[in-house]
Structure 1
Amino acid sequence: MASRTEPGLSAAHWTLPAVRSGRILSIDAMRALTVLVMVMVNEWSAVAGLPQWMGHMPADVDAMTFVDAVLPSFLFIVGMSIPFALQQRFKAGDSGWQVQGHVLLRAAGLVLIGFFMVNGGGGFHAPSMVLPVELWNLLCYAAAFLLWGSLTGGANLALPWRVGGLLLFAALAWMYRGGADGQGGMTPQWWGILGLIGWAYLIACLAYQAVRGHKLGLLACIAACTAYFVALRLPGVAASPALSGFFSADGHFVHASIALCGALTSMIFFDESQSLSRRRRFAWALGLALLLALAAAALRPEFKISKIYATPSWALYSAAASVLIFAMLYQWMDVMGRPLLTALLAPVAANPLLAYLLPFVIGLLMQLFAWQWPLMLRSGGIGILFGAAYSVLISLLVKQLASRGVRLSI
């Protein structure tokens, strides 16, 4: 029987530092909390009369709110998971090429869903659409479930269903009508949240493996991603169509820098190739947070804080905050052994994609049948409380679906 590893890119040659095995409660908790906060702030976006600190800051304002740090928090936790996911793949006997294929397919899946979501949210010409846009969007989620869903809690749906999912995506792309006159097709636009996460995940995975997970190498990759953003703003680069095109993925590299900060944080806390005391690991984490904040402050005069423009000052400040938040969760949950709403967070931690997409599906069904939330839930303090309660309801719904074997995972 042929070996599953291949010369030159086998698990033996593709050496990565060993990280702690088993689930880590604080990583799960941070993932779940981030998704639930995403759900909450998305609900808040429809609430009238919110104070400014509970919404996104305008693109040209040199400031950020906690809402602007939600996407970075998810990018950070995606990066934290990279060392564990890659280790698990190699331990299972996958060759280097197989691991790269898995990384590429996972990134492509996120980009694909994000691509369809962003086109379903804008850029379409409603009078020319073959289907009502609400139904078109719902079928996009149905296609995603056919490709990556499960009704047994285990393996994905059988191959014919997955082929059907691909064909449904292709049919939906053919039916799409975009542009001012309905003559255009689908366009990347800004890729959507999941698309941005997919690109950042791909870049961060490749960078992590390129430096073999070494901490200084990861720090250098973070600096390189920041330098990539800066390069596009240099006069010589901006004046050259070839160079400006090469550096045009600046936002993706900034997002990847946040994911790499997460990977570096995992290596600080969970790298088993070095025997360090817990106190030392916390000290390194605090040092990383301080370094990121100082780098953000140094860049801020030239590159203002902006989530919309994905500036490095925004990214590094957000990553610094994520390091500190994770360190506190780790101390509370894993070191002190104190659970944090595990019954509420565990289902979301295990099914983050399902939890993230469910509110969109519910919203589309409400639009399709012309249902609306009562007006009192869309204004003032009651609207704020409803947004928080809605995220809890989504968590409970995910728990019920998961208990019945429903899963969605790329």
Structure 2
Amino acid sequence: MQYNKLSSQRILSIDAFRGITILVMIFVNELAGIRDIPAWAKHMHADEDAMSFVDAVFPAFLFIVGMSIPFAINNRLKKGDSVWQLQLHILFRILGLLVLGVFLVNTEEGYNEQLMGMSINLWALLFFVGVILVWKVYYTKNKTLVYILKTIGVVLLAALAFIYKGEKGEHITPEWWGILGLIGWAYLYSCIIYQLFKGNVLGICLMIAVCMGVFIASHTDSLKDISWLQWTHAQSGNAIHTSLTLSGMVLSLLFFKMDKEIKESNRFLNAFIFTAALFVAGYFLRPAFKISKIHATPTWALYSAGFCCIIFIFLYWLIDKKHIEKWTSFFKPAAANPLLTYIIPDIIYFLTALLGISLFPDSLAYGLPGALWSAFFAVAVMGIAMLLSKIKLRLQL
């Protein structure tokens, strides 16, 4: 059973989009520590009613997750997974994202190294060892060895969670879920919606509107005190993030759903109509809800999804239609190994801090020199990911 008949070809433009997003993410994370750079190179303040390209990086992650969901679910079912096996696989992926998100958030602040009996740098590096042991793709037929290594990883993560102490001696807690955790919740809701509507584009578009409605209900004075709508307060952020993932899912289906014979020109036309609808919806909602990444508003999500659509439409035309694709080889290792690429910068930060090495001299902490350093660091991380892929170090949730 499959929900849709999708293109069987490898979509290079999706891989390229994923790789580019990871590169930009590493760049802007490093750029965040640079002084004296233009406002458009930073996150906009919460109440500015504006967004920069930096504010669109996280939405691009969510958008690409959505683009990949139909292919991932269909591939699992094509391989013979039952519906229940598929749900179990989805739940394990979500659990992994939540665990990773919570651990990473707790390395940022609020820890008590004295009570832990070790530095946060060592604790974090041991955490990454556990991550690699649990989620590494093992290229061996020795299943016993694989189970042993994964078990060691699980035990190590559990021990680290027990060792961790907050400022007042409390155990590790989800103050918030972190970027990976937020992706996990959006992934969960999007997978449920995709299956409930059996991949129907109109049904998924309706759920994008419902997601907007959840946010509106929780932020409208005349609605937010209604008892049966109280649940919207806790879920408004997840609803907006899910709308971004669903937007990527819709664009993917418009281009790659092969249930009917549709001319390529009509697929592009449908994609442009969907893109325009996102921008129009954002325009009409903007007077009531400012553009704000910090507040995760509908306008921010709709405009971000619209920009993602434009970028992908161009990449698809350039790479998969015009076959101008050689340049994408640089992004392939990161696109195929996103989790490892995502944690490489943190591994570098914690390792250099543990060793007392500074990779960030004061002369590179401002202006153009800092921006150039950030770009160099991002490219270097991509190079490391390429080398690790060559030695078959790959992580998969």
Equivalent residue in structure 2 for 1:244, among 207, 212, 230: 230
What is the deviation of 1:340? 5.1
What is the deviation of 1:236? 5.9
Verify: 1:79 aligned to 2:66, yes or no. yes
Cα deviations by residue, 1:251-290 (Å, 9 ceiling, x for unpaired): 1111011000000000000000021111111111111111
Find the aligned partners of 1:155 and 1:338 in 2 and give their Cα distance: 41
Verify: 1:164 aligned to 2:164, yes or no. no
TM (norm. structure 1) is 0.92
1:330-341 correspondence runs (5 A): 330-339=316-325, 341=327
Equivalent residue in structure 2 for 1:344, among 302, 322, 330: 330
Per the alignment, residue 206 of structure 1 pairs with 192
Per the alignment, residue 26 of structure 1 pairs with 13
Equivalent residue in structure 1 for 2:98, among 106, 111, 123: 111
Find the aligned partners of 1:339 and 1:194 in 2 and give their Cα distance: 29
Cα deviations by residue, 1:120-162 (Å, 9 ceiling, x for unpaired): 1122234433321111111221111111013649999711211
Find the aligned partners of 1:242 and 1:274 in 2 and give their Cα distance: 41
Verify: 1:177 aligned to 2:165, yes or no. yes
- Secondary structure at the residue paired with 1:197? helix
What is the deviation of 1:237? 5.2
Verify: 1:271 aligned to 2:257, yes or no. yes
Verify: 1:304 aligned to 2:290, yes or no. yes
Find the aligned partners of 1:242 and 1:126 in 2 and give their Cα distance: 44
Cα deviations by residue, 1:343-386 (Å, 9 ceiling, x for unpaired): 31111111111111101100111111121122222222121112
Equivalent residue in structure 2 for 1:280, among 261, 266, 273: 266
For the Cα contact (< 8 Å) 2:50–2:291, is it kept in 1?
Answer: yes
Residue 318 of structure 1 aligns with an amino acid whose one-letter code is S
What is the deviation of 1:186? 2.1
TM (norm. structure 2) is 0.95
Equivalent residue in structure 2 for 1:123, among 88, 110, 124: 110
- Secondary structure at the residue paired with 1:249? helix
For the Cα contact (< 8 Å) 2:43–2:54, is it kept in 1?
Answer: yes
Find the aligned partners of 2:255 and 2:368 in 1 and give their Cα distance: 40
Find the aligned partners of 1:362 and 1:347 in 2 and give their Cα distance: 18
Residue 366 of structure 1 aligns with an amino acid whose one-letter code is T
For the Cα contact (< 8 Å) 1:126–1:133, is it kept in 2?
Answer: yes
- Secondary structure at the residue paired with 1:408? coil
Residue 147 of structure 1 aligns with an amino acid whose one-letter code is V
Find the aligned partners of 2:335 and 2:317 in 1 and give their Cα distance: 19
Decide whether aligned partners of structure 1 residues 190 and 201 sit closer, same or farther in structure 2, where only a CA change above 3 A counts.
same
Residue 55 of structure 1 aligns with an amino acid whose one-letter code is K
For the Cα contact (< 8 Å) 1:258–1:316, is it kept in 2?
Answer: yes
For the Cα contact (< 8 Å) 1:21–1:84, is it kept in 2?
Answer: no
Find the aligned partners of 1:215 and 1:154 in 2 and give their Cα distance: 41
Equivalent residue in structure 1 for 2:133, among 133, 141, 146: 146
- Secondary structure at the residue paired with 2:5? coil
Unmatched runs of 5 consecutive residues or more in structure 1: 1-10
Residue 14 of structure 2 aligns with an amino acid whose one-letter code is I
Per the alignment, residue 358 of structure 1 pairs with 344
Question: Between the two proteins, what is the percent identity of the paired residues?
Answer: 41
Cα deviations by residue, 1:98-119 (Å, 9 ceiling, x for unpaired): 1111111111111110111011
Per the alignment, residue 218 of structure 1 pairs with 204
Per the alignment, residue 6 of structure 1 pairs with none
Find the aligned partners of 1:153 and 1:398 in 2 and give their Cα distance: 21
Per the alignment, residue 49 of structure 2 pairs with 62
Decide whether aligned partners of structure 1 residues 326 and 259 sit closer, same or farther in structure 2, where only a CA change above 3 A counts.
same
For the Cα contact (< 8 Å) 2:217–2:229, is it kept in 1?
Answer: no
- Secondary structure at the residue paired with 2:310? helix
Find the aligned partners of 2:140 and 2:273 in 1 and give their Cα distance: 41
Residue 160 of structure 2 aligns with an amino acid whose one-letter code is L
Per the alignment, residue 7 of structure 1 pairs with none
Cα deviations by residue, 1:170-222 (Å, 9 ceiling, x for unpaired): 1111111114xx23222222211111111111111111111111110110111
Residue 227 of structure 1 aligns with an amino acid whose one-letter code is G
- Secondary structure at the residue paired with 2:66? helix
Find the aligned partners of 1:249 and 1:341 in 2 and give their Cα distance: 40
Residue 159 of structure 1 aligns with an amino acid whose one-letter code is Y
Find the aligned partners of 1:47 and 1:404 in 2 and give their Cα distance: 34
Equivalent residue in structure 1 for 2:123, among 128, 131, 136: 136
**Pairwise CA RMSD:** 1.8
Question: How many aligned positions are there?
Answer: 395
For the Cα contact (< 8 Å) 2:255–2:267, is it kept in 1?
Answer: yes
